[in-house]
Structure 1
Amino acid sequence: MESTEEYVSRVKAGDGESFRPIVEIYQQQIYVYCCRMLGCKQDAQDAVQDILFKAYTKLDLYESRATFSSWLYKIAYHHCLNMLRKRHIRDRVYRLFKPATFTESAEQNLDRQWFSPPLEYALSRLSVEERSILILRVFEEEPFAEIADILGKSTDAVKKKYTRLKQKVIRLIAEKEGEKGCNTKESLVKMKL
């Protein structure tokens, strides 16, 4: 089996078909990352297509000083960040014209239930950068050096932020559990934190 780097070299040499195995390797990982960042399956599906297309068209900018996966996650992080900014602006404009008349669709209801209520609550209280660090470290199990490269920060800064982030998430989950009597002692995040 060939490595991702070999496929990348082939694509750079003009063999566009060699990008297909790269898509097969990373499509599901990027989809899960986007689902967790965006909180919506449809938006995540759209984002994955855009991210992979952007990676293909910008592949000449990839340098092997970083791993291909961290380069791809960096593209995904910035793409999701832009989508969240656009969504925030769109939602603010929407509320101006349709205050308090919004009802949740069946798809949005399913998306809302993607995580346990306490974890969903905790994730919603995190900044985009904090959410990305948590997702990359806990769910994607990326090393700190990769996360630092993706976010454009130093490894030490990411480690410190993650240490503070763990306490924040545990506090937010406990806050939500106490609010409605929820009990998620078996929560994936709590076990991995």
Structure 2
Amino acid sequence: MDSLINNLVTQVRAGNQEAFEGLVEIYKDKIYRLCYRMVGDSHEAEDLAQEAFVRAYVNIDKYSGSYKFSTWLYRIATNLCIDKLRKKKPDYSMDAEIPGTEGATLYSQVAGAAPLPEEEVEEKEKRDHLQQEIMKLPEKYRTAILLKYVEDLSLEEISSVMDLPVPTVKTRIHRGREALKKVYKKVAKSR
């Protein structure tokens, strides 16, 4: 796969736009998924993923090849998401009560899927809760957790994406996991 990627990058540098379409096809789902998990909004994630590919295309000559193309692309997408999160100010809360209702929240207004067996519902609630808790983590821990456990990148790849030494990456993953453990311990005690 690496030789295919390198071949496509070489073709893009030579002016072959179709080769870049091949790169987009290979990475579009992964980049979108990363952006979605970082910003939590599908429309923003689509825009950010598209912007990441535009920047990669425009700056393809800056890709040195000293590490994987995917690492370089993840770095572009991660930086775009972090910039977006820093600029974004929360304008509403899904937990806030909707004015004029008796306790209804935005969460309660989200359309539900067809009824599922109880176990599947519980599993989905756990995944949703985990995603919400990940979104509450400081961005430096959230990014490390997502790259490690969702995108399944190695510590070295995460180090390149985040432009940090591997020991710092390990620390951020550890602290992110510890923060998530604390939340789940509180939930377990309250039940």
Give the structure-2-normalised TM-score.
0.78
Gaps in structure 1 of 5+ consecutive residues: 182-193
- Deviation per CA, 1:156-186: give whole Å up to 9, x if none: 211122223222222222323444x4xxxxx
Per-residue deviation at 1:41?
1.0
Aligned residues of 2:78 and 2:143 also touching (Cα < 8 A):
yes
1:137 to 129, 139, 148: 148
Pick which of 120-129 and 78-87 moved more: 120-129
**Aligned position for 2:61:** 60
**Aligned position for 2:81:** 80
Matching residue's letter, 2:134:
L
Which portions of structure 1, spanning 4 or more consecutive aligned residues, are displaced by more than 4 angstroms?
Answer: 99-103, 105-110
Q: Quick one: distance in 2 between partners of 1:32 and 1:51? A: 13
Q: Quick one: distance in 2 between partners of 1:107 and 1:68? A: 41
Q: What is the total number of aligned residue pairs between the two structures?
A: 171
Q: Quick one: distance in 2 between partners of 1:86 and 1:52? A: 21
- Deviation per CA, 1:29-54: give whole Å up to 9, x if none: 00111110011111111111111111
Matching residue's letter, 1:161:
R
Q: Quick one: distance in 1 between partners of 2:143 and 2:176? A: 11
**Aligned position for 2:115:** none
Q: Considering only CA atoms, is the larger Rg found in Structure 1 or Structure 2?
A: 2
- Check 1:116–1:56 CA distance in 2 against 1; reply closer, same or farther (3 A cut): same
SS in structure 2 of the partner of residue 47 of structure 1: helix
Check if 1:24 corresponds to 2:35. no
Q: Superposed, which structure 2 residues align to 1:79-158 within 5 Å?
A: 79-88=80-89, 91=90, 104=106, 116-158=127-169
- Deviation per CA, 1:82-112: give whole Å up to 9, x if none: 1112222xx3xx57xxx987873899778xx
SS in structure 1 of the partner of residue 66 of structure 2: coil
Give the structure-1-normalised TM-score.
0.77
Gaps in structure 2 of 5+ consecutive residues: 100-104, 113-123
